[in-house]
Structure 1
Amino acid sequence: MIWEDLNENLIMPDLKAGSSDEVFQQLGGLLVSEGYCKSSYVQALTEREKDFPTGINMGNIGIAIPHTDKEHVIKGAVAIGVLKEPVHFYQMGTNDENVEAKLIFMLAVKDPKEHLVFLQRILMVLQDQEVLKQLIETKNKQEIINIIKEKEEQL
């Protein structure tokens, strides 16, 4: 379950960033400062995003699920950012389709086998437009965890 691994210290419900690089610096920097990732993590996110975009258009709301290689990770975690204003990402699998991301699920993946399972669970939760709407509207960290928990329990 995703919600069991969530930590309020890794949730930014009012993230202000003007670019994906600023998202990486703030949210990735949080993973570094909280001891989940090495100092190389933020730069590795930036580099990986150029070759493997992580934006996903989920109907009315764009999301991004940035992550990088395990050598930059100390222990697994998920950081969540809800952006005040959407930030430009490219659609996963392309380098020319824009996604204006409002919600970021940044992964610190230590075990590559868990990566795909975790990604699938996140996408199952986020396919629900009502859940997406609730996540971007709340400013309460615990409420974000509760919304995800409630949806996961329905799956």
Structure 2
Amino acid sequence: MIEQLLKERNCIVRQGVTDWKDAIHVSLEPLVSQGYCTDQYEQAVLKNTEKYGAYYVLTDDMALIHASSEAGVKETQMAVTVLKDPVHFTEDGPAVRILIALVAKDQTSHMDGIVAVSTIFGDDGNVQPILDATTSKEIYDAFVAASQE
């Protein structure tokens, strides 16, 4: 269930970030600070981005920030950051305002999170309430409601 993977305190609204590297840092910061993963995970995402490009930008408005479970993951958890000012991960890429950070300790424990993200972003009606959110609770409630549809 999404409630086990996403905590309200890990849902954040920010005005913006300086660039794509800052976006990665900001999206993972709650998970690092609470011990779900280490700084090694952030470094893995940065390294993978330099090698493969912004593989985690899945749709307009949304990036699913993730790396291998071997990269300093201690527990499976998600964090959601909504940016009022979008960030571009590539010069000609889409404007991203929703950063979903997912750390998974193994190959299966994060599947509920992947299903929830797919459900939410498979229906444009679910996305707008997240984009419009002004509080952590609004983001959290939108994810929970969409995952229960």
- Under TM normalisation by the shorter chain, which class is it? 0.7 to 0.9
| TM-fit CA distance, 1:97 | 6.1
Residue deviations 1:85-112 (CA, integer Å, cap 9, x gap): 111135xxxxx86121111111011111
Which segments of 5 or more consecutive residues in structure 2 lack a partner in the other structure? none
Residue deviations 1:51-73 (CA, integer Å, cap 9, x gap): 1611122xxx4210010111221
| TM-fit CA distance, 1:36 | 0.7
Matched, 1:135 2:130: yes
TM superposition score normalised by structure 2:
0.86
- Deviation beyond 4 Å, 4+ runs, structure 1: none
| TM-fit CA distance, 1:129 | 1.2
TM superposition score normalised by structure 1:
0.83
Aligned to 1:30: 30
Query: Paired residues, what number?
Result: 146
Conservation of the 8 A alpha-carbon contact between 2:5 and 2:113: no
Which segments of 5 or more consecutive residues in structure 1 lack a partner in the other structure? 91-95
Q: How has the CA–CA distance of structure 1 residues 40 and 54 changed in structure 2, closer, same or farther, with 3 Å as cutoff? A: same
Structure 2 counterpart of 1:80, one-letter code = V
Say which SS state the counterpart of residue 149 (structure 1) adopts: helix
Conservation of the 8 A alpha-carbon contact between 1:82 and 1:103: yes
Q: Percent identity?
A: 22
Say which SS state the counterpart of residue 69 (structure 1) adopts: coil
RMSD: 2.0
